[in-house]
């Protein structure tokens, strides 16, 4: 072949190529704002030249393919940053809610705790004033209902989160299904196009993968046929070629318990628990918030409520009411035990908070299971089980658990220790506030020595002889006898006296000081009509600053302050990390955008370039025509 | 670096949003006057603020306890002042009665006055506070502490002394028992007797026209005894007012401390706010300028 005839071929080839280039440019311009669109460009290359005696003569241009500007590495970076960012964002925002709730200067627990103890001080100053007593009662109710309110808020948070977690799981499942479907389409389309990449489908799959990594952290492996396998957690295959696995979600049944996420591979019904393996994304953020913030906050609150109630009650029952009766419980917050309906044994289990160890309460509920042969297993919700041997009573995790009757193996009892929910005020009558102490010390007016009996305190309010009249009489300045004159019992004779001696009988203790003389007599007896006595109220007020929490290192208020600081710190860390992660994400997105994004100025320039080339090619057609006409006219 | 059109747009929008977020936060700080809007802003500061809040509330309570203590002690001190006046008058009368120039008739007159004083003393010993509680009854503040039968005054109260918490680790006694004030005063014969009996004995001796120096000594002893209780009350009153001064200065310090932790530094915040607004304005302006530029504007 030679010359002119070919020129027309070259020109039409050029026209076709530039038309395709112009369409691609137009497509780029049209998709300038489409999410996930990767800029496309036509690959132009020279056609195979014709060898002649005079050398190789070019035969024009052809389009060998349309490629998208895409970088696998950057795309993966965007996905991993998206997961990390979404996780922290969810965590920070949820933790921020709890932190604001607990730290609120008016709705938090702190002000209610203060007002209550101020009211106790009010009764201590003026134990006979009915209005001071009424204020203490209503401030006690306020404190209890503040605990109830915070418990309910945490419960609402849990309910809401259960819903959100289940949404996230179903979104992951539907994304996994879509990715499997697109995998199929990509493999088919690649085959149909003779190996040319289906750019639009590839973009679509990348968009789906990005959405998936918003929900959970994923890793991907591209197969030789163009499909992508997606893994979550510790290598659980969420998408394998054209099939998708399923995540399922079980809501947390009780406060303090963890929700469960499990995975089953495509076509399998076996559910593998993956709750602790899942990380990143919205789902990962919610799960770690649940484990690191929500559950600890709930159990700290329960611990504090149980401690306030139990410690306060323990002192309150040592007192005496305005009517002269022994003090009862001020707060009600006891744990409740319910046996399982499947129990076959005849045992009854009862539980109470242990006043001295209550601050070790570890969860909002427990399950006690009898293993047979005097062995029990106590499992805190979401915690590690403890084995108890013997027939009880057991003092464990801040509780006294006692068993009566005969249990059968596998009998189960659930113990509700959700104290922040259960707490209330147990007394209604302000007169029943035990501001006084049941016993009073005295010395006979005929005493000639300078001895005093002081610091009288009740140690065991259940002692039946507590209110007996007791006489301590000195037979010499260094020896005394102790007699219970109510029953006529001699409690001690010839006790050697040293100043500061503590004297403890019948459930009370006191100290003898000074220099008594022979014949001196001291008494401890019932406090009758002692309405002006405030000793127990002072002791109750003293509980505000007593180091009763955290192994004797902090007060009630201090313990709560630590909870607020602890959750505030977690929130603040998550916020800081989120900001850093967001910057990384933006950087990765920027890099991706600079590779794959459309620049309108560039496209405008390309438009001009290809339009001019097209015009020139059209001109070549016209030249070819002229050349052919010239040839024709020469022959004519 | 190549930049895509969407990226250029997004960067501009992000810059504006960021500036808006920080300006909004400063604005919230300015409108609340608080530096810490959420515990996450400063976890340790927030927990310290809770502690200081508690300290303020507690100190306020101690102040009101102190007010109550001082009110009770003033009442007791005033009552004992009257007792002292009464005993001083009795002492004068005892000296007078022992003078040989007195006649049986004048001694009868003195006896009448002392008898009245004795009644007044009983009334003083049965003083009630504003809540209707007997101040010298010990814990048995609801029942009359001193009753008379057959010319003998009996103490029905107990030996309970009431304390009030006026500071974190400071309690003060706000009452004295009737037995410690009016009973068991040493007498001239080496034993002890009540002030009532001292006056009663004096009256009896006058009525039989046989006054003795014993009355003078006993009344003097009673006077000394009540004055020592007075002194003790005075020192407790001092302790209360010391504690009040201490509490109010600590209250001031704690409030300052709290303010430093949680309150906003307005000067700093306002200048920061100004900066943020300027940055926001710059971001908005540059966004408008950049978005206006396009090669398409120059194509035919």
Closest CA to A423 of A625, A149, A165, A185: A149
Contact by Cβ (8 Å): A306, A398: yes
What is the rounded distance in angstroms from the CA atom of residue A188 to the CA atom of residue B219? 122
The predicted pLDDT at position A3 comes to 44
The answer to the question of residue A115 being in a domain is: yes
The predicted pLDDT at position A4 comes to 42
B106-122: average pLDDT: 93
The answer to the question of residue A324 being in a domain is: no
* Contact residues, chain A, for B69 at CB < 8 Å: 125
**Residue A79 shares a structural domain with residue A169:** yes
What is the rounded distance in angstroms from the CA atom of residue B7 to the CA atom of residue A513? 86
What is the rounded distance in angstroms from the CA atom of residue A275 to the CA atom of residue A282? 14
* Contact residues, chain A, for B50 at CB < 8 Å: 103, 108, 110, 557, 560-561, 564
**Residue A270 shares a structural domain with residue A136:** yes
The answer to the question of residue A319 being in a domain is: no
The predicted pLDDT at position A261 comes to 92
**Residue A167 shares a structural domain with residue A263:** yes
Q: What secondary structure does DSSP assign to A568-624, as a single string? A: HHHHHHHHHHHHHHHHHHHHHHHHHHHHHS--HHHHHHHHHHHHHHHHHHHHHHHHH
The pair phi, psi for residue B36, each rounded to 5°, is: -95, 110
For residue B58, give the nearest of A114, A532, A595 by CB distance.
A114
Last residue in a domain, options A503, A526, A549: A526
The predicted pLDDT at position A258 comes to 79
- Name the stretches of chain A with pLDDT < 70: 1-5, 253, 256
Paired with A626 in beta bridges are none
Q: Which of B44, B49, B50 to mutate to test the interface with A (most CBs of A within 10 A)?
A: B50
A473-526 pLDDT per residue, tens: 999 999 999 999 999 999 999 999 988 888 999 999 999 989 998 889 999 999
The answer to the question of residue A12 being in a domain is: yes
B215-232: average pLDDT: 93
For chain A positions 9-48, those within 8 Å of chain B (CB to CB) are 32-33, 39
What is the rounded distance in angstroms from the CA atom of residue B31 to the CA atom of residue B38? 15
Question: B118 vs chain A: nearest CA distance in angstroms?
Answer: 22
**Residue A63 shares a structural domain with residue A123:** no
For residue A110, give the nearest of B53, B62, B141 by CB distance.
B53
* Contact residues, chain B, for A546 at CB < 8 Å: none
For residue A32, give the nearest of B5, B61, B299 by CB distance.
B5
Region at B254 (left for phi over 0; alpha for psi -120 to 50; beta for the rest) = alpha
The answer to the question of residue B274 being in a domain is: no
Query: CB–CB of B139 and A608 under 8 A?
Result: no
For chain A positions 80-109, those within 8 Å of chain B (CB to CB) are 92, 95-96, 99-100, 102-103, 105, 108
The answer to the question of residue A139 being in a domain is: yes
B174 to each of A453, A528, B136, B179, how far by Cα in Å? 19, 21, 11, 15
Contact by Cβ (8 Å): A574, A91: yes
The vertex-A484 CA angle with A481 and A490, nearest 5°, equals: 50
* Contact residues, chain A, for B163 at CB < 8 Å: 534-535, 538
What is the rounded distance in angstroms from the CA atom of residue A534 to the CA atom of residue A547? 22
**Residue A89 shares a structural domain with residue A49:** no
**Residue A459 shares a structural domain with residue A578:** no
Strands (E), B97-207: 146-149, 152-155, 163-167, 170-173, 185-186, 192-193
The answer to the question of residue A422 being in a domain is: no
B264-285 pLDDT per residue, tens: 999 999 999 999 999 999 999 9
The predicted pLDDT at position B103 comes to 87
The answer to the question of residue A445 being in a domain is: yes
B28-46 pLDDT per residue, tens: 999 999 999 889 999 999 9
What is the rounded distance in angstroms from the CA atom of residue B156 to the CA atom of residue B182? 12
What is the rounded distance in angstroms from the CA atom of residue A623 to the CA atom of residue B48? 89
Query: CB–CB of A442 and B159 under 8 A?
Result: yes
B184–A contact, CB cutoff 8 A: yes
A569–B contact, CB cutoff 8 A: yes
Domain residues for the domain of A216 are 75-295+557-587
Output the pTM of the full model. Answer: 0.87
B91-118: average pLDDT: 90
Query: CB–CB of A445 and B65 under 8 A?
Result: no
Domain total in chain B = 1
Q: Could you give the dihedral angle defined by the CA atoms of residues B6, B8, B12 and B15, in that order, rounded to the nearest 10 degrees?
A: 100
**Residue A95 shares a structural domain with residue A50:** no
**Residue A150 shares a structural domain with residue A252:** yes
For chain A positions 278-297, those within 8 Å of chain B (CB to CB) are none
The pair phi, psi for residue A27, each rounded to 5°, is: -60, -40
Instruction: List the CATH number of the domain containing B123.
Output: 1.20.1330.10
Tally Cβ neighbours within 10 Å of residue B291.
12
The pair phi, psi for residue A2, each rounded to 5°, is: -145, 155
Q: Give the number of residues written for chain A.
A: 636
Domain residues for the domain of B211 are 79-240
For chain B positions 109-168, those within 8 Å of chain A (CB to CB) are 131, 133, 137-143, 158-160, 162-165, 168
Domain total in chain A = 4
B2–A contact, CB cutoff 8 A: yes
For residue A440, give the nearest of B57, B139, B164 by CB distance.
B139
For chain A positions 413-442, those within 8 Å of chain B (CB to CB) are 436, 440-442
Region at B209 (left for phi over 0; alpha for psi -120 to 50; beta for the rest) = left
The answer to the question of residue B203 being in a domain is: yes
Contact by Cβ (8 Å): A388, A374: no
A463-474 pLDDT per residue, tens: 999 999 999 999
The predicted pLDDT at position A450 comes to 85
**Residue A52 shares a structural domain with residue A130:** no
**Residue A150 shares a structural domain with residue A193:** yes
**Residue A484 shares a structural domain with residue A582:** no
**Residue A102 shares a structural domain with residue A55:** no
The answer to the question of residue A536 being in a domain is: no
* Contact residues, chain B, for A102 at CB < 8 Å: 39
Contact by Cβ (8 Å): A492, A532: no
For residue A531, give the nearest of B3, B48, B141 by CB distance.
B141
* Contact residues, chain A, for B179 at CB < 8 Å: 445
């Amino acid at each position: 072949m030679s010359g002119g005839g070919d020129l027309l071929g070259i020109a039409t080839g050029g026209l076709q190529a530039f038309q395709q280039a112009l369409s691609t440019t137009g497509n780029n311009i049209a998709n300038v704002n489409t999410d996930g669109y990767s800029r496309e460009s036509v690959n132009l290359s020279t056609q195979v030249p014709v060898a002649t005696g005079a050398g190789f003569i070019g035969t024009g241009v052809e389009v060998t393919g349309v490629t998208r500007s895409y970088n696998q590495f950057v795309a993966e970076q965007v996905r991993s940053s998206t997961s990390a960012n979404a996780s922290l964002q969810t965590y920070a925002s949820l933790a921020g809610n709890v932190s604001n709730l607990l730290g609120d200067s008016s709705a938090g627990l702190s002000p209610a705790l203060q007002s209550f103890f101020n009211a106790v001080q009010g009764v201590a100053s003026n134990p006979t004033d009915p209005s001071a007593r009424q204020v203490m009662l209503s401030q006690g109710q306020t404190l209890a209902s503040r605990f109830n309110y915070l418990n309910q808020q945490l419960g609402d948070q849990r309910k809401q989160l259960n819903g959100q977690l289940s949404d996230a799981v179903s979104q992951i499942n539907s994304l996994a299904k879509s990715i499997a479907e697109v995998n199929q389409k990509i493999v088919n389309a690649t085959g149909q196009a003779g190996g040319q990449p289906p750019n639009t489908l590839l973009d679509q799959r990348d968009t789906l993968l990005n959405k998936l990594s918003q929900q959970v952290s994923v890793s991907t492996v591209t197969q030789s046929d163009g499909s992508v396998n997606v893994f979550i957690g510790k290598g659980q295959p969420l998408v394998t070629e054209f099939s998708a696995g399923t995540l399922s979600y079980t809501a947390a049944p009780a406060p303090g318990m963890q929700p469960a996420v499990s995975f089953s591979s495509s076509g399998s019904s076996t559910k593998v628990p993956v709750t602790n393996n899942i990380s990143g994304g919205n789902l990962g953020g919610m799960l770690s918030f649940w484990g690191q913030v929500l559950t600890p906050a709930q159990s700290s609150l329960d611990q504090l409520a149980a401690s306030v109630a139990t410690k306060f009650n323990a002192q309150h029952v040592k007192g005496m009411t305005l009517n002269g009766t022994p003090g009862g419980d001020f707060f009600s917050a006891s744990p409740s035990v319910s046996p399982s309906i499947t129990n076959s044994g005849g045992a009854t289990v009862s539980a109470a908070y242990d006043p001295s160890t209550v601050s070790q309460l570890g969860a909002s509920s427990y399950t006690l299971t009898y293993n047979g042969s005097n062995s029990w297993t106590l499992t805190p919700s979401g915690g590690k089980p403890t084995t108890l041997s013997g027939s009880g009573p057991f003092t464990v995790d801040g509780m006294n658990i006692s068993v009566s009757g005969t249990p059968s193996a596998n009998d189960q009892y659930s113990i509700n220790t959700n104290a922040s929910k259960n707490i209330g005020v147990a007394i209604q009558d302000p007169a029943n506030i035990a501001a006084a102490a049941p016993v009073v010390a005295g010395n006979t007016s005929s005493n000639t020595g300078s001895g005093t009996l002081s610091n009288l305190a009740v140690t065991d309010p259940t002692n039946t002889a507590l209110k007996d009249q007791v006489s301590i009489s000195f037979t010499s300045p260094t020896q005394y006898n102790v007699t219970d004159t109510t029953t006529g019992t001699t409690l001690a004779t010839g006790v050697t006296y040293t100043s500061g001696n503590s004297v403890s009988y019948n459930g009370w203790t006191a100290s003898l000081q000074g220099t008594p003389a022979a014949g001196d007599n001291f008494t401890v007896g019932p406090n009758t009509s002692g309405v002006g006595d405030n000793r127990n109220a002072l002791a109750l007020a003293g509980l505000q600053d007593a180091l009763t929490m955290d192994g004797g290192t902090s007060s009630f208020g201090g313990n709560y302050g630590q909870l607020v600081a602890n959750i505030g710190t977690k929130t603040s860390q998550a916020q800081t990390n989120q900001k850093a992660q967001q910057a990384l994400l933006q950087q990765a997105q920027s890099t991706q955008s600079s590779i794959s994004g459309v620049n309108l100025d560039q496209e405008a320039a390309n438009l001009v370039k290809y339009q001019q080339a097209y015009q020139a090619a059209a001109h070549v057609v016209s030249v070819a025509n002229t050349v052919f006409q010239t040839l024709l006219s020469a022959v004519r | 670096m190549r930049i895509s059109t969407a990226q250029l747009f997004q960067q501009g929008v992000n810059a504006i949003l960021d500036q808006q977020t920080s300006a909004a936060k400063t604005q919230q700080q300015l409108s609340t006057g608080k530096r810490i809007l959420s515990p996450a802003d400063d976890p340790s500061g927030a927990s310290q603020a809770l502690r200081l809040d508690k300290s303020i509330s507690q100190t306020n309570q101690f102040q009101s306890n102190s007010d109550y203590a001082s009110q009770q002690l003033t009442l007791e001190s005033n009552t004992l002042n009257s007792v002292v006046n009464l005993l001083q008058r009795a002492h004068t009368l005892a000296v007078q009665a022992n003078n040989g120039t007195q006649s049986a008739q004048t001694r009868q007159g003195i006896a009448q006055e002392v008898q009245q004083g004795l009644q007044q003393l009983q009334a003083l010993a049965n003083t009630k506070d504003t809540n209707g509680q007997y101040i010298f009854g010990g814990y048995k503040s609801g029942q009359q502490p001193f009753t008379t039968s057959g010319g003998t005054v009996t103490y029905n109260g107990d030996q309970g002394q009431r304390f009030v918490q006026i500071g974190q680790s400071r309690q003060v006694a706000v009452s004295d028992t009737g037995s410690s004030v009016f009973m068991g005063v040493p007498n001239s014969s080496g034993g002890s007797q009540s002030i009532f009996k001292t006056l009663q004995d004096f009256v009896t001796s006058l009525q039989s026209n046989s006054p003795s120096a014993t009355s003078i000594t006993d009344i003097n002893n009673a006077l000394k005894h009540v004055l020592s209780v007075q002194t003790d009350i005075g020192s407790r009153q001092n302790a209360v007012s010391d504690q009040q001064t201490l509490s109010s200065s600590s209250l001031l310090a704690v409030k300052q401390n709290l303010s430093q932790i949680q309150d906003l530094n307005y000067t700093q915040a306002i200048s920061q706010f100004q900066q943020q607004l300027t940055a926001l304005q710059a971001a908005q302006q540059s966004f408008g300028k950049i978005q206006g530029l396009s090669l398409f504007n120059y194509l035919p």
